[in-house]
Amino acid sequence: MTQTLTPLPESSLSGKTALVTGSSRGIGADTARYLAQAGANVVINYRNKAPRAEKLAGELRELGVQVLVVGADLTDPASVQAMFDEVASTFGSLEILVLNASGGMESGMAEDYALLLNRDAQVNVLETALPLLGDGSRVVFVTSHQAHFIRTTPTMPEYEPVALSKRAGEDALRERIPALTERGVEFVVVSGDMIEGTITATLLERANPGAIAARREDAGKLYNVSEFAAEVAQAALDPVPADNTRLVGDVSSFGTE
């Protein structure tokens, strides 16, 4: 699909390197695309979609930036360490880390998989990346309103385990803000509503037919993948809000903490 959005100023990220977890498709792929459009060298991370990741890499190289494709299972610390070793040897440093990959609705996974991926793996990815993140670098954590507001606003039963685990991941990352600030590393959470066209939305719709349409009607509008990815990309460059949170779209139906 041809992208028409160019959310970041041309050359605004020239000379910087960005890694986006889970970027072979969906929000991650479009985020990587927007960062590359702005001049950033990009690390595309995937778990098992190598051909898709390589196809995106070829497209982004045509923009004149360097692209590294690295497969890694984020729940495997050794795999994560190997990924950042490769980033270190290729680029030497990392200026933008987008924690986009998440999950937990897949079938056939262990009971604790959502917490393992959405909390433990997110923290480990950040900790493993830290030696590469210098003064002025930025970490962006991508989440949903359904997870961000889970303590005050119930969500669909099918999504609750994922929402709780993603909020646990957000909390664990926020606890590291003082230590990150000491290193000159900025941190921002980007929270969006249900996103049209994502795997999560598809799985939710399958489990609870009509759920997405009902949410769309309630919110007035749901962002699509490319629109939300544009917000994530902008969060890598825009000033960090005082509460380290960028809320995308309507939040009037979610209770504040």
Tokens of 104: 């937990």
Number of residues that make up the chain:
257
Residue ranges in 5-134 assigned as alpha helix (H): 26-37, 50-61, 77-91, 113-115, 121-129
What pLDDT shows up at residue 222?
81
What's residue 2's pLDDT? 43
CA angle 80, 165, 121 (to 5 degrees): 10
Res 6: pLDDT: 82
Minimal CA–CA distance to 31: which of 113, 96, 110, 79? Answer: 96
In CATH, what number does 17-248 get? 3.40.50.720
Say what the pLDDT of residue 57 is.
98
CA pair distance 97, 73, nearest whole angstrom: 16
Please report which residue ranges of 47-198 form alpha helices under DSSP H: 50-61, 77-91, 113-115, 121-129, 145-148, 160-174, 177-182
| CA torsion angle 176 177 181 187 (round to 10) | 120
Give every CB contact of residue 89 below 8 A, 6+ residues apart in sequence: none
- As given in the structure block, the two tokens for residue 55 are 């196809």
| pLDDT value of position 208 | 78
Reported pTM: 0.93
**150: Cα separation from own chain's centroid:** 18
Whose tokens are 């999504």? That residue is 159
Q: What is the pLDDT along the chain (257 residues), one digit of tens a residue?
A: 445 678 899 999 999 999 999 999 999 999 999 999 999 999 999 998 899 999 999 999 999 999 999 999 999 999 999 999 999 999 999 999 999 999 887 777 777 889 999 999 999 999 999 999 999 999 999 999 999 999 999 988 888 999 999 999 999 999 999 999 999 999 999 999 888 777 677 777 887 788 778 878 877 788 889 999 999 999 999 999 999 999 998 898 887 76
User: Which sequence spans correspond to the domains of the chain?
Assistant: 17-248
